[in-house]
Amino acid sequence: MLWGEPVTAGQLAAAEGGYDRCDPEERLLWERLSVFEGTFGRDAVREVCASGTLPPARIPAVLDRLAPLALLPVDDLFDGEEDAARYWMPHPVRAVGA
């Protein structure tokens, strides 16, 4: 999916289904990740999304649970180091979390 493409009803329904299958911690992070418009790394996620209900130390584990669900694709250009990974949120996924 390209940036700026309109979201179809099917894409939105698929993203909503994914959201419904997430646990509360995953949903909380998903909602907070929706503030990112481009790519983002783990450090930015810890800084922007962590709170008392989602401590910084929990962020990597929750990211690791969301990424395989195709909710947070990893940018192909990162150098392979875990902390250097660049994630992005497809527009329909971001729309559900917003």
SS (H, E, C) 66-88: HHHHCCCCECCCCCCCHHHCEEC
* pTM for this model (two decimals): 0.78
Mean pLDDT, rounded, for 6-24: 80
Q: What is the mean pLDDT of the chain?
A: 81
* Secondary-structure breakdown of the chain: helix, strand, coil percentages, each rounded to the nearest 5: 55, 5, 40
CATH topology of domain 9-97: Arc Repressor Mutant, subunit A (1.10.10)
Lowest mean pLDDT among 5-19, 31-45, 60-74: 5-19
Q: Which of 88, 95, 86 is nearest to 72 (CA)?
A: 88
Q: What is the mean pLDDT of residues 67-76?
A: 72
> What confidence score (pLDDT) does residue 49 get?
96
